[in-house]
A and B are shown apart, each in its own frame.
Chain A
Amino acid sequence: MKRNSPTVLDEQRGAYRPTPPPAWKPRTDPGPLLPDPEPYRVLGTEGALKADPALLRRLYAQLVRGRRYNAQATALTKQGRLAVYPSTTGQEACEIAAADVLREQDWLFPSYRDTLAAVARGLDPVQALTLLRGDWHTGYDPREHRIAPLCTPLATQLPHAVGLAHAARLRGDDVVALALVGDGGTSEGDFHEALNFAAVWQAPVVFLVQNNGFAISVPLDKQTAAPSLAHKAVGYGMPGRLVDGNDVVAVHEVLTEAIQRARTGGGPTLVEAITYRIDAHTNADDATRYREDKEVEVWRGHDPIALLERELTERGLLDDDGKQAAKDEAETMAADLRARMNADPVLDPMDLFSHVFAEQTSQLREQAAQLRAELDAEAENDTHNEPGGTGR
């Protein structure tokens, strides 16, 4: 048998030889979508010289106010005026930048931690704290300020932001939605679904992940195996960006660029801001159980206010008077907040039935009547028991 003569087996193989598969190529060049592995920074670099001094001063005043706001709200929990307060001490740069980059017509979608961003956007601090004080779930009309209700279930606000941005675009309105989420929230299914929808619809939405190191006690390396959270963007077909979350100017720039892209039809962006939660998760949390003081100290050395203060001082844009003025202004805000939060809210229990449906069902009317009767009986008792009342 000659070596090259085809065997029976070869003939069979020939009969089954597969046709070549259709040519495959990636749908999108992943290169431009991939985040720069080094978080973007501006403060302390050449780039800072380009920043507008008026913007820097505004951000500084806002950061100082924000820090004071966090301290005041935390104090209010100790006085029992707030049930709970998830502080953003250490994360103020993200919160302030997020509020500052939005135009009036844009929408902010905050998570439960982002009271400060809502306040920085112009919401009355007392209205912003209603949820945490416990008199109502949302203390404001979302449409009035274009701030969605502070969202407690993790990541569920993200598809809302996508839907709203999509709806605005369908209507031809120039509106961008900016949605905030924590590092832990990126593990939720809604995060995935929202990013996927946003990219498929090319919705004008920006996702800002505040990676503050922990989801309550769980550190990032137990949350994800991805190189960074910003890397997740590539899989959806949107750009991912990494930024130093304590560098307010850098966050501001990256978000501005992302919002600009969204506004001009370029679709969504995922931004990961590397920051750190200085306070515990909430006042109910014991952070010493899961992290070392040493680690906190390192981050204190990279404080968002100090970073900007140094830049402004070195450039002669801020002196002691300027610092004092910002402090005084923050103090006034805190005093006002304290005073107003110390007044007991006036609640109407009948409100329990007022906003379940547009039209009350007969079932709710019956239950409302029952509560009304109970309240009347209570009031009756109270008048009888008052000193000098007829009951005595």
Chain B
Amino acid sequence: MTTAAVKPATMAQALGRALRDALAEDPTVHVMGEDVGTLGGVFRITDGLAKEFGEDRCTDTPLAEAGILGAAVGMAMYGLRPVVEMQFDAFAYPAFEQLVSHVSRWRNRTRGAMPLPITIRVPYGGGIGGVEHHSDSSEAYYIATPGLHVVTPATVDDAYGLLRASIASDDPVVFMEPKRLYWSKSQWNPQTPTAVEPLGRAVVRRPGRSATLLTYGPSLPVCLEAAEAATAEGWDLEVVDLRSLVPFDDETVCASVRRTGRALVVHEATGFGGPGGEIAARVTERCFHHLEAPVLRVTGFDIPYPPPMLERHHLPGVDRILDAVARLQWEAES
């Protein structure tokens, strides 16, 4: 690998570097989407790629998400590895039919004869003061679709490692980029991003003994902050970064919950029908006898993503997490 000297300062740069390295190493990799060429993407993730690799490898497409993903299907059929950028979470919806009706089931439909190695990058989540349609947490739609991997990095290192692994995967990956963290510096793991992480492994970001916070993507830093704050109240919280929702790392998650006996799922997506319900159910099914309290959830409200001036009331913050942690001190109602 040619990345030993890389020291990206932000997640955005790590993602760009991952794309660059993938393009350089594998001539079948193609980056495509709206404004990814000359402009470098609205978040500048693809900055410089068109210049370095030419417009055939980093392509400005017409403005049509179904067309982009549908064309990517045909390109993958012919042996290319398209990496598609959806400009924002809510603008991926026009491509939904291609994703659900074709991309996710192509391998299955052809009895394994024709895998589709497509990576679909979706900048997602709120907290950036975006207007409507720029802040959705759409991961529940994707995890409900069999045949898709759903991956979401929370650190600079993982942004690089997981994106490389996603592009290398022979299966379609919905790569959810927490746009709130695009500009976050490499503060959790200052090492250079040389590791290409296998998909589907969670990681303990902060060891602890009194309860497990299960989280991913944009909520990781919030959980880490909450864990620090909780020490004042005598809580020693373990924080698990799921990194991948499909496949789901039951092993790491359950090992942690069995150790601590208490679990809280934290994410921005809405609670009802959100990933947290699935995670809580899995944990309960597998760790029931180890649990000292019901598995709790702190999530976004079950509302359309709010306007920017109100979003702080919607997003799970440290206080809401700490309140829930307190409720983990479960006592059966008398």
* Residues on A facing B (Cβ under 8 Å): 136-138, 140-144, 148-149, 153, 156, 158-168, 170-171, 177, 189-190, 192-194, 196-197, 200, 351, 354-358, 361-363
Contact = CB atoms under 8 A, between A and B. Distances in A.
Interface string B65-84: 01101111111111110100
B169 A358 contact: yes
A357 B117 CA distance: 11
A363 to B, nearest CB: 6
8 contacts: A141-B110, A156-B101, A159-B74, A170-B80, A190-B98, A197-B71, A355-B111, A357-B147
B94 interface: yes
A160 to B, nearest CB: 4
Contacts of A355: 107-108, 110-112
Interface residues of B, number: 49
Interface stretch (B14-22, B41-49, B126-134, B245-253): B245-253
B70 A361 contact: no
B109 A137 contact: yes
Nearest to B78: A167
A193 B70 contact: yes
Q: Which of A142, A196, A361 has the most CB of B within 10 A?
A: A361
B200 to A, nearest CB: 7
Give the most central of B70, B101, B112: most A CB within 10 Å. Answer: B70
Query: Looking at A141, A148, A156, A163, which has the most chain B CB atoms within 10 Å of its CB?
Result: A163
Contacts of B98: 156, 159, 190
Contact of A197 (B62, B82, B111): B62
B70 A190 contact: yes
A156 B73 CA distance: 10
A163 B105 contact: no
Given A196-B62, A363-B247, A363-B248, A160 B107 contact: no
A138 B78 contact: no
A356 B149 CA distance: 10
Contacts of B101: 153, 156
A228 to B, nearest CB: 23
B311 interface: no
B97 A164 contact: no
Given A149-B110, A197-B62, A354-B112, A159 B78 contact: no
A160 B64 contact: no
B114 interface: yes
A170 B80 CA distance: 10
Contacts of B114: 141-143
A160 B70 contact: yes
A189 B94 contact: yes
Given A159-B70, A200-B62, A357 B77 contact: no
A163 B71 contact: yes
Contacts of B82: 163
B292 interface: no
Nearest to A366: B250
B133 to A, nearest CB: 18
A219 to B, nearest CB: 25
Contacts of A149: 106, 109-110
Given A170-B56, A362-B250, A164 B75 contact: yes
A166 B78 CA distance: 9
A356 B108 contact: yes
Given A167-B80, A190-B66, A358 B115 contact: yes
A160 B333 CA distance: 58
Given A137-B105, A161-B74, A164-B78, A194 B67 contact: yes
A156 B70 contact: yes
A53 to B, nearest CB: 37
A162 B71 contact: yes
B206 interface: no
Given A137-B109, A160-B74, A166-B75, 18 more contacts: A137-B108, A138-B110, A141-B113, A143-B77, A143-B114, A156-B101, A159-B73, A160-B73, A163-B76, A163-B78, A167-B75, A167-B80, A168-B78, A196-B62, A197-B71, A357-B171, A361-B246, A363-B250
A159 to B, nearest CB: 3
Nearest to A365: B247
Tell which of A162, A168, A357, A358 has the most Cβ of chain B within 10 Å.
Answer: A357
